Each structure stands twice: as structure tokens, then as C-alpha cells.
Amino acid sequence: MNKTTIRIPFVDLNLQHQPIQRQLEQAIQSVLAQGDFILGQAVSDFETAFAAASGTEYGVGVASGTDAIALGLEACNIGAGDEVILPANTFVATLIGVLRVGAKPVFVDCDRQTALIDLEAAARAITPRTKAIIPVHLYGQMVSPRQLLDFAKTYKLLIFEDAAQAHLAQRDGYRAGAVGIAAAFSFYPSKNLGAFGDGGMLLTKDSNIAQKMLRLRNYGSTQKYLHIESGTNSRLDTLQAAVLREKLPHLPKWNSDRLSIAQQYDLELLPLASAGIVPMQNHSGTGHVYHLYVIRVDDSCPLERQQIQDKLTALGIQTGIHYPIPCHLQPAFTNLGYQLGDFPQAEKLAKQILSLPMYPGLSNSQIREVVTAIASILSSEKQQLLYI
Ligand SMILES: *Cc1c(COP(=O)(O)O)cnc(C)c1O
């Protein structure tokens, strides 16, 4: 075996769980003692707590972020005959949610500096059938709520937030999940707030949408064996809710750790700007919750993103790419009729972006080690160029 030892992992969940391990075990134990595994007390407690923390009214826990999108769109009466605008450079689950309700996904390009949806491009994609826009608060930064609300008002559209990467993010005085008619969150383990398995939630201020969501996740029923509409089985497990409820009070601190780490990366990476290493821009001050810390390996860099990633891996530094293939170029969705060249910014970013290690507990010296490694990879390339 010739496997490099990992010096700096991409994420380390143990660092956040160890200090509160006893409380987490107790939370799990108490569910075992109660035996209320399905829609138990911890589910409604956590729904209330997460909705309040996000500055909105109702939370409905479901089995995953993907279900929060698909069932949430259905609860908002978005479906067949409707067009839904979404960014091409999102995780595929955003698209899958739209397809599951039978609506037509309409992709738009993104801004190169932030990777967030380009609202001017979105305006050009509107047709008489456009019903909603799904802003994806990508990497932990919200799409500007002020611009979004203006946009939605001008074109009379619904805003359905994909906030799977943006728990407690803020911008323009709004919190993620409190901007649109509804918002979907994921509690996949590595998200800013993660369960010990899958989980998701829909947040909304609208009690009718919340009521409908409660039915949809539970076979279309709120009263046992009475079904006034169809639905599915997609509930947040009581065990997961108990874990999430225990972790929620720690989230502001974890998010502020992420912000400090990002600020240090920004600072340390500054000298590499002239070599074409450019961090994604933060346009939301302290409200960015840095689910991911993403740099761009620009055209001016002597190396390709892939070469840099491979060399970092060889040095024991794990990185990621979010995401290497934009949705419109995924083999599964060629039937949507898009092709290479349709979204130049998204396509270019897919080739240039690199996500660096980011998690609460990542130390100053580790951040420095990552940046030093990138710098040395670049300078050895420069040396080689000089000696050719
Ligand atoms: C994680 C994620 C999802 C899907 O969440 P799951 O819980 O994995 O189903 C949707 N959208 C975005 C942007 C995500 O990052």
C-alpha cells in the first residue's frame, strides 16, 4: 500500500463531537428511554428551536435536504406547468427536487467572484410560465436578500431558498431561511449543522405551507388512517432530532470559528493572488458561514487546478471540488437540452475551483501549512519553468 498519510483532512467531525460527547450520548439515551422513535418530542422541540434561531415561524423536519426541496416545492404548489429558475452550479439535489415535482428547471449562470446565481441572467430567463426562483446560498453565503426580494417583486415570482449550506447565515439583515416563501435545509453530517445520518427541514412563515408539509411527510395524513391527500414517508428521526437539538446551541460558535478560519486563509493567501490563486469573495461581512472555503485557480496561474489538487493530496492535504460538473452537463440530464457553452462562468468555475480544508477546530498552524504547501507547489513549478 502506497497511501499517503492524511496530515490535514478535508473535514474532521470528531473535533466538534468530542467536547460534547457526553451530552450527545445522553440525548440519544433519553430517546431510547422514551421510545418515541417516530415524530417524538425531540422532533417538535428541534423544529421550533431551529425555526426560531433562523428568524422564522415554522419548521417541518424531513428525512433529507433533498426531500425538504422536493416536498417543500410541492407544499408551495409549485409543479407541472411551472418553470423554476436555479443556478447551473449547484449540488444536483436542487435540480432533483425541481424534477420530482414535475416542474421545468431553467438554469442560469453565476457570478464568477462569488459563485452565486447571477440575477441579471435570471431576469433574462423569465417567461410567462416562470413561477419561482431557487437561490442557492452556496458555500455558506446568502444570495443578496435585498436584490432577491426586489427581483421577486418585479417579476412576481416566489423565492424558495436552498439553504442546505447556510445554517444561520445572514446578509442585508436577513437570515437564511427567512427571505422566501420557504427554505430547505439539510442536516447531512458534514453540513454546518449535521446529524448522525440524514436529515432535513423546511422552514416557512406560512402556516398553510407548514400544515401541508406536515401532511406530505407523513403519507398525506395528520390524523391516523385519514388521508385527504397523498404524501410520502419522509420524517426526521427522533434520534437525529435529539442530536441536532443538542448541537444547535453550539452552531453560532462553530460558524464564527469557520469565519475566523476563512479570514486567516484570505490573509495568508493574499501574496498568492499574483500567481493566480484567488479566494471566492465574501460580500456579506460576518454573515458568511463558510460551509466551504473555495479558491479559484485562475487563468494566470502556471498550474491547473487538478495539478495543484494532486500535489496537495500527495502532501497529505485533502481538498474537494464543489462541484466538478455543472448540473446542465451531467449525463443524467442531457434530455433537458442544455449543452457545453451555455453557462460559461459555471463551466469555468467547475474547472478552476478548489475547496480547502474547513471545519471548526482547524488550527492556525494547519491553515498556514495548507497555504505554505500551495505556495511551494507554485514556486517549484516556477523554478522548473526557469530551468527549461
Ligand atoms: C447537501 C445539499 C443538498 C441536499 O441535502 P441532502 O440532505 O444531502 O439530501 C441540497 N442542496 C445543496 C446546495 C446541498 O449542499
The tens digit of pLDDT for each residue in 123-170 reads 999 999 999 999 999 999 999 999 999 999 999 999 999 999 999 999
The per-residue pLDDT for 381 is 77
E-state strands within the chain: 58-62, 83-87, 104-108, 130-133, 158-162, 170-171, 174-175, 182-186, 200-204, 277-279, 293-297, 353-356
Average per-residue pLDDT in the chain?
97
Q: Is 144 in the pocket of ligand 1 (CB under 6 A)?
A: no
Query: Looking at ligand 1, which atom is closest to the CA of residue 291?
Result: 15
Q: Is 284 in the pocket of ligand 1 (CB under 6 A)?
A: no
Residue with cell 495543484: 308
Model-level pTM?
A: 0.97
Would you say residue 4 has pLDDT above 90?
no
Q: Mutate which of 84, 99, 165 to test ligand 1's pocket (most atoms within 8 Å of Cβ)? A: 165
Q: Mutate which of 11, 67, 91 to test ligand 1's pocket (most atoms within 8 Å of Cβ)? A: 91
The per-residue pLDDT for 382 is 72
Would you say residue 1 has pLDDT above 70?
no
- Of the chain, the end-to-end C-alpha distance in Å amounts to 34
The tens digit of pLDDT for each residue in 307-318 reads 999 999 999 999
CATH 3.90.1150.10 maps onto the chain at 251-386
- Report, at the CATH architecture level, how domain 251-386 is classified: Alpha-Beta Complex (3.90)
More confident residue, 143 or 387: 143
Spacing, Cα 196 to ligand 1 middle (Å): 15
Q: How many residues does the chain have?
A: 388
Query: Tell me: domain 14-248, CATH 2.60.40.10, correct?
Result: no
Q: How confident is the model at residue 387 (pLDDT cuts 50, 70, 90)?
A: low
Percent of the chain surpassing pLDDT 90: 96
Q: How confident is the model at residue 385 (pLDDT cuts 50, 70, 90)?
A: low
Query: Looking at ligand 1, which atom is closest to the CA of residue 198?
Result: 7
Query: Looking at ligand 1, which atom is closest to the CA of residue 67?
Result: 9
DSSP 8-state secondary structure symbol assigned to residue 136: B
Taking the C-alpha atoms of residue 251 and residue 256, their distance in angstroms, rounded to an integer, is: 8
- What are the φ/ψ torsions at residue 237 (nearest 5 degrees)? -60, 145
Spacing, Cα 95 to ligand 1 middle (Å): 10
The per-residue pLDDT for 108 is 98
Mean pLDDT of 304-308: 98
**Protein residue with least CA distance to atom 6, ligand 1:** 65
The tens digit of pLDDT for each residue in 340-373 reads 999 999 999 999 999 999 999 999 999 999 999 9
More confident residue, 164 or 223: 164
Q: How confident is the model at residue 228 (pLDDT cuts 50, 70, 90)?
A: confident
CATH 3.40.640.10 maps onto the chain at 14-248
Spacing, Cα 89 to ligand 1 middle (Å): 13
Q: Is 240 in the pocket of ligand 1 (CB under 6 A)?
A: no
Q: Mutate which of 11, 62, 64, 66 to test ligand 1's pocket (most atoms within 8 Å of Cβ)? A: 66
Please name which of 117, 166, 176 lies closest in space to residue 145, comparing C-alpha atoms: 176
Taking the C-alpha atoms of residue 321 and residue 313, their distance in angstroms, rounded to an integer, is: 13
The per-residue pLDDT for 388 is 55
